[in-house]
């Protein structure tokens, strides 16, 4: 069964600290993996995309990694800011159709305290 | 910046009412989607469209219907709302590599 599991479910950190969010998936075949940020009361916004051949990709203070062999991805946030408080959602796309079906994780709720 | 708009942002209605949630995008995307999201849960696809006059049901059984008469417009209609329909509804569009652009959502409460 194709699934996307994220951990931890929630996380509280102090402003300025780093953190790492995890995403494990069983989706096969694999096309790509995206991390989205969803602020409270808003729709998700794409942070980064990882394809099969990519190991690391950065977007400002966000760095995503992908290990396609172990089917794991992580999102590392450096020097956290209050505005990083949000839900971070991992989404995996397969190649089972021309459009690529999407599998969503439940998200990690990150809270950054001053 | 994505240009996809949903109205209303919040809606509280009584059981049995007919409602339409509006979604419009100005990016010219052919693909559009409706997702349902409950707190702490993953997004569930309820309807999608590949283009004008093309609509399909998603994974989540839904009593809603959609239409796609214009590329930019993808409304969702509930003929008779029930308390079980209380949820957040997110509209999205995409062009390639399944990068989704989401609207801000409609929070629906059915009393």
Q: Could you report the per-residue pLDDT of A69-106, keeping only the tens digit for each?
A: 999 999 999 999 999 999 999 999 987 555 668 899 99
Element housing B44 (H / E): strand B44-51
Distance between CA atoms of residues B101 and B92, nearest Å: 5
φ, ψ at A83 (rounded to 5°) = -70, -10
Mean pLDDT across the stretch A59-64?
96
In percent, the amount of chain A with pLDDT more than 70 equals 96
B41-76 per-residue burial string, b: 16 or more CB within 10 A, e: under 16: ebbbbbbbbeeeeebeeeeeebebebebeebbebbb
Distance between CA atoms of residues A60 and B91, nearest Å: 27
Distance between CA atoms of residues B108 and B21, nearest Å: 9
Choose the mutation target among A6, A35, A38, A43 for the interface with B, i.e. most B CBs under 10 Å.
A43
Instruction: Note down pLDDT in tens along chain B; length 111 residues.
Output: 559 999 999 999 999 999 999 999 999 999 999 999 998 899 999 999 989 999 999 887 678 999 999 999 999 999 999 999 999 999 999 986 578 999 999 999 999
Q: Is the alpha carbon torsion for A8, A12, A13, A15 positive or negative?
A: positive
**Average pLDDT across chain A, whole number:** 93
CB atoms A46 and B100 under 8 Å: yes
Q: Which residues contact A29 (CB under 8 A, 6 or more apart)?
A: A94, A95, A96
CB atoms B97 and A32 under 8 Å: yes
CB-nearest partner of A93 from B31, B98, B107:
B98
In percent, the amount of chain A with pLDDT more than 90 equals 79
Q: Is the alpha carbon torsion for A106, B37, A51, A108 positive or negative?
A: negative
Distance between CA atoms of residues A92 and A103, nearest Å: 5
Q: Looking at residue A53, what is its pLDDT?
A: 87
Q: Looking at residue A101, what is its pLDDT?
A: 82
Distance between CA atoms of residues B22 and B10, nearest Å: 12
By the 8 A CB rule, do A109 and A101 touch? no
Q: Looking at residue B97, what is its pLDDT?
A: 55
CB atoms A106 and B92 under 8 Å: no
Which residues of chain A are within 8 Å of residue B31 when distances are taken between CB atoms? 99
Distance between CA atoms of residues A65 and A24, nearest Å: 12
């Amino acid at each position: 069964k194709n699934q996307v599991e994220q951990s931890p479910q929630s996380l509280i950190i102090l402003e300025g600290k780093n953190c790492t969010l995890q995403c494990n998936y069983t989706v096969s075949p694999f096309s790509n993996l995206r991390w989205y940020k969803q602020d409270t009361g808003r729709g998700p916004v794409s942070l980064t995309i990882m394809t099969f051949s990519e190991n690391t990709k950065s977007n400002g203070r966000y760095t995503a990694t992908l290990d396609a062999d172990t089917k794991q991805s992580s999102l590392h946030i450096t020097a956290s800011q209050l505005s990083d408080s949000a839900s971070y959602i991992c989404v995996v796309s397969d190649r089972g159709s021309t459009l690529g079906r999407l599998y969503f994780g439940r998200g990690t709720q990150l809270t950054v305290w001053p | 910046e994505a240009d996809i708009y949903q109205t209303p942002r919040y809606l509280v209605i009584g059981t049995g009412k007919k409602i339409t949630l509006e979604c419009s995008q100005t990016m010219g995307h052919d693909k559009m989607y409706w997702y349902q999201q409950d707190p702490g849960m993953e997004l569930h696809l309820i309807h999608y469209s590949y283009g004008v006059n093309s609509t399909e049901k998603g994974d989540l059984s839904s009593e809603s219907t959609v239409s796609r008469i214009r590329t930019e417009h993808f409304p969702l209609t509930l003929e008779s709302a029930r308390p079980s329909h209380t949820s957040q509804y997110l509209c999205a569009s995409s062009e390639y590599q399944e990068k989704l652009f989401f609207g801000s959502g409609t929070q629906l409460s059915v009393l």
